Amino acid sequence: MKTEALDLKKNYLVPCSYNLYQRPPEIVRASMQYLFDANDTQYLDFFAGVSVMNCGHCNPQINKAAKAQIDKLQHTTTLYLTRPIGELAEQLAAILPGGIKRSFFCNSGTEANEGAFLAARLFTGRRKIAALTRSLHGRTNLAMSATGIPMWRTDPFLDTAQTAILPGPYDETAGMVTDAAAAASLSTISATLAFRDFAALIIEPIQGNGGIIPLPDKYIQQLRQICTDTGTLLIADEVQTGFARTGTMFAIEQSGVVPDIMTVAKALGNGFPIAAYCTTDTIAQAFTKPSASTLGGNPVSSSAALAVIRYIKKENLVHRAKELGEKLMTGLLELKDRHAIIHDVRGRGLMAGAELYKTDGTPNPEGTDLVLEYAKDHGVLIGKNGLHRNVLAFQPPLIITEENISRMLSVLDDALTHLSRTSAS
């Protein structure tokens, strides 16, 4: 008899690899916004593998491009001359803001951020990296050291001498972004960077893992100014927000700010492993010693990514995410009016979060888990994040329909009603 997938995971993976659900379905296939388990039960996907499947699961147009490439040429490394990687860099240059035009390809968001730190150090000749509270930038030592969320800072030997986690605009007492917290944050960041010993400040324009926290436009503009004034490079981590999700191709565009370096991953490959840090000609020129990533930007992943960009443009997913995002936000705000357990609703485009509190005014991670489990048992997969794991995350494939949103909202409504009748409310 075949071993259960759950037992395989329990017995052979490192235990840090956990499940989102008490009773996880075994997902065996997928099609656009739907996942199917081993019993062929259909699930409407509102998490997209954490903001990855923007163009939908097993999208035929993207898979066709990848399949054509895999049968022709799969791998060479950047030491050999191939076309897809160059074409992808050209296409990225066309959609990236300002003068950002050069890309270094790798395989994950972590690696892209690590590469961005290296690029910033090479250019500035400075060593330190600053990041915000409630941020997540990766799993390698430096990227983890520059991660603000305590639960993701697992390495007992973080590089705390060369990194600083500075306060962001989220007010921990109010449980939301406030003007006062934003002002205090800017003042600390300004005082810290004034010493001119930081190579870079890295920000997520919308903090994903931190609890879907959009940084206010004015706040980002002021960060830009502080960085410019102190010779610190501004890195925009668009690993989770990139590629049409927030109603613009990249979330930082909404503030009008152009960062010095941008990192991209996740949705760029729509499931194929590919990531990059992208920067200006001037900053890129500081990196002249040879370097390579064995699999970074390989022909198959690059062909898939090229198909992703084509698909986003052809289907106008930027516009779609904006329009459907408004419907999602209206629906979530209506639910907030009727369910006291929803403390705050926020987001942009199809990247929204609902923070759940208990009746005693404290974060409600148990209730969040109950809602997730209930929704899953009723055919809808919602994500979660936040410092206290009490924020419902809505980040569906951008090809979902209005009807899909209505269905998710109706299941969520039932789940919240169900929750209010339990001791976890």
Helix ranges restricted to H, 54-148: 60-70, 84-95, 109-124, 141-145
CB of 152 to ligand PLP, least distance (A): 9
Site mask for ligand PLP (CB under 6 A), range 112-151, x = bound: -x----------------------xxx-------------
Please tell me whether residue 110 binds ligand PLP under the rule CB under 6 A.
yes
Please tell me whether residue 237 binds ligand PLP under the rule CB under 6 A.
yes
Q: Nearer Cβ to ligand PLP, position 204 or 344? A: 204
Please tell me whether residue 109 binds ligand PLP under the rule CB under 6 A.
yes
CB of 250 to ligand PLP, least distance (A): 13
CB of 414 to ligand PLP, least distance (A): 29
- Which member of 65, 66, 96, 265 binds ligand PLP (CB under 6 A)? 265
Please tell me whether residue 204 binds ligand PLP under the rule CB under 6 A.
yes
| 71-77, long-range: CB < 8 A, 24+ apart | 72/299, 73/299, 74/298, 74/299, 74/300, 75/295, 75/298, 75/299, 75/300, 76/298, 76/299, 77/292, 77/294, 77/295, 77/298
CA-wise closest residue to 351 among 242, 264, 265, 236: 242
The residue at minimum Cβ distance from ligand PLP is 109
Binding range to ligand PLP, per CB under 6 A, among 65-73, 178-186, 201-209, 406-414: 201-209
- Amino acid making up residue 175: G
Please tell me whether residue 232 binds ligand PLP under the rule CB under 6 A.
no
Site mask for ligand PLP (CB under 6 A), range 12-51, x = bound: --------------------------------------x-
- Which member of 49, 208, 259, 269 binds ligand PLP (CB under 6 A)? 208
Phi-psi region of 51 (alpha: psi -120 to 50; beta: other; left: phi over 0): left
Alpha-carbon gap, residue 165 to 83, rounded angstroms: 40
CA-wise closest residue to 111 among 287, 260, 295: 295
Q: What number of chain residues touch ligand PLP (CB under 6 A)?
A: 15
Q: Are 133 and 170 in contact (CB under 8 A)?
A: yes
Cα–Cα distances in angstroms (integers) from residue 219 to residues 48, 64, 170, 186, 208, in the given order: 29, 42, 12, 8, 17
Residues lying near ligand PLP in the complex (CB under 6 A): 50, 108-110, 113, 136-138, 204, 208-209, 237, 239-240, 265
